């Protein structure tokens, strides 16, 4: 079997390559990446050690995609995954990254009939509807008010696949939602296998996080390096909640989807994936973890005003993935934070060099 992983030098792409190769040693993995993300070149030795074929190219360039060898499956990890991208210009580039590149890959699938797995995002869901959730303000986090009615597509466990996708969802979210629609239409029109996985926060060792993407590693690294940190929005108290998922847990589901092959209507095409309620943290809880982990004190800044497209609460309801695929996260949130912290301690020089 041959797989093509786009964005293979990124955090998610490289970790999926590592997991899949170790799970199926005989698989041939080909990867393409333009190495635009700072630190992505540090993953090239890992890919080489795995025996992956690396191609320095750009999926936005039609010729680069057409020149790629035929494979059995394409896993599309290439994206600009920041919800703030495109706000202050660069919108056209964002659309090219997240939509035009995917369209080039779908043309590749149309011609070769290979399967396609799109890594989408929880950011396709309506910001207004998410902001309408009834929440209680506790000492450490926002929690659901279970005495109030939930909006459609929401349960006590979190956001389901039926949650509204009405605007606003951010320019980033819109590019991914459009990619989902085109991927499903291509697959059903031209008869090739398709799976769409809407992922929450993916986190783990080796990730060079940023304030707007990869918040868990970003916070841990800044704490370790004694760099400034601040709670932004919702009163500046750090009570916003997110769940996190390890890339290996994502890999477990991808293997199930690849092995299943073509979907004859027996499995849902679209799934929500994340760490769930048990794998969720507020920023304040993450900060308390760092305080205990590194046994130090740090003054945390505060900014009460919200950022564009921010959310007070997002947790993934993965019930459909459990029902359809018998899939559940195998790592707890604390275990993921420990892995990140251990890696950070062992690779401090690498982080200083590549972490902005």
What pLDDT is recorded for position 93? 85
What pLDDT is recorded for position 88? 73
What pLDDT is recorded for position 347? 94
Whole-structure pTM over 0.85, yes or no? yes
Buried b (16+ CB within 10 A) or exposed e, 20-45: bbeeeeebbbbbbbbbebebbebbbe
CA distance 45 to 43: 6
Note down pLDDT in tens along the chain; length 356 residues. Answer: 999 999 999 999 999 999 999 999 999 999 999 998 878 899 999 999 999 999 999 999 999 999 999 999 999 999 887 777 777 777 888 899 899 999 999 999 999 999 999 999 999 999 999 999 999 999 999 999 999 999 999 999 999 999 999 999 999 999 999 999 999 999 999 999 999 999 999 999 999 887 767 899 999 999 999 999 999 999 999 999 999 999 999 999 999 999 997 766 689 999 999 999 999 999 999 999 999 999 999 999 999 999 888 999 999 999 999 999 999 999 999 999 999 999 999 999 999 988 75
Domains of the chain: 2-354 (3.40.50.720)
Query: Whose CA is closest to 179, among 130, 119, 122, 126?
Result: 119
Other residues' Cβ atoms within 10 Å of the Cβ of residue 197: 20
Measure Cα distances from 287 to 128, 186, 229 in Å: 27, 44, 10
What pLDDT is recorded for position 287? 98
∠ CA(76), CA(84), CA(42), 5° rounding?
50
Pairing of β 230-232 and β 301-303: parallel
CB pairs under 8 A, 24+ apart, for 133-140? 133/312, 133/313, 135/312, 135/313, 137/239, 138/239, 140/239, 140/282, 140/284, 140/285, 140/288
What pLDDT is recorded for position 356? 56
Coil, strand or helix at 201: strand
Contact status, residue 204 vs residue 339, Cβ threshold 8 Å: yes
Contact status, residue 21 vs residue 48, Cβ threshold 8 Å: no
The helix or strand, by DSSP H or E, that contains position 199, with its residue range, turns out to be strand 194-199
Cis peptide before 150 (omega within 30 of 0): no
Measure Cα distances from 257 to 42, 167, 193, 262, 324 in Å: 29, 30, 9, 9, 11
Q: Hey, what are 153's tokens? A: 């597509």
Write the DSSP string, 251-299. Answer: HHHHHHHHHH-S--SSS-SEEEES-TGGGEEEHHHHHHHHHHHHT---P
CA distance 343 to 321: 30
């Amino acid at each position: 079997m041959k797989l093509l992983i786009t964005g293979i030098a990124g955090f998610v792409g490289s970790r999926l390559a590592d997991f899949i190769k170790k799970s199926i040693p005989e698989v041939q993995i080909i990867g393409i990446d333009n190495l635009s993300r700072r630190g992505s070149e540090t993953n090239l030795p890992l890919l080489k050690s795995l025996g992956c074929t690396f191609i320095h190219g750009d999926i936005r360039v039609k010729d680069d995609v057409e020149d790629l060898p035929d494979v059995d499956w394409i896993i599309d990890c290439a994206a600009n995954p920041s919800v703030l991208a495109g706000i202050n210009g660069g919108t056209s580039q964002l659309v090219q990254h997240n939509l035009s590149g995917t369209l080039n890959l779908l043309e590749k699938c149309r011609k070769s009939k290979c399967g396609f797995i799109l890594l989408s995002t929880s950011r396709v869901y309506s910001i207004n509807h998410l902001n309408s959730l009834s929440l209680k303000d506790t000492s450490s986090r926002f929690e659901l008010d279970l005495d109030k009615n939930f909006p459609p597509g929401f349960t006590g466990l979190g956001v389901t696949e039926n949650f509204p996708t009405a605007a606003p969802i951010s320019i980033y979210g819109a590019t991914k939602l459009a990619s989902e629609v085109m991927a499903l239409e291509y697959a059903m029109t031209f008869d090739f296998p398709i799976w769409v996985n809407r992922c929450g926060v993916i986190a783990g060792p080796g990730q060079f996080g940023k304030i707007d993407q990869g918040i868990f590693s970003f916070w841990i690294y800044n704490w370790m390096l004694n760099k400034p940190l601040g709670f932004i929005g919702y009163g500046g108290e750090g009570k916003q909640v997110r769940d996190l998922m390890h890339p290996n847990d994502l890999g477990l589901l991808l293997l199930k989807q690849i092995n299943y092959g073509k979907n004859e209507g027996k499995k849902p095409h679209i799934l929500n994936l994340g760490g769930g309620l048990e794998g969720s943290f507020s920023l304040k809880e993450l900060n308390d973890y760092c305080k205990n982990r590194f046994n130090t004190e740090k003054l945390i800044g505060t900014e009460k005003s919200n950022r564009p497209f921010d959310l007070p609460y997002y947790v993934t309801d993965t019930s459909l993935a459990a029902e359809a695929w018998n899939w559940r996260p195998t790592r707890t949130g604390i275990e993921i934070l420990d892995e990140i912290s251990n890696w950070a301690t062992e690779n401090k020089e690498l982080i200083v060099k590549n972490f902005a």
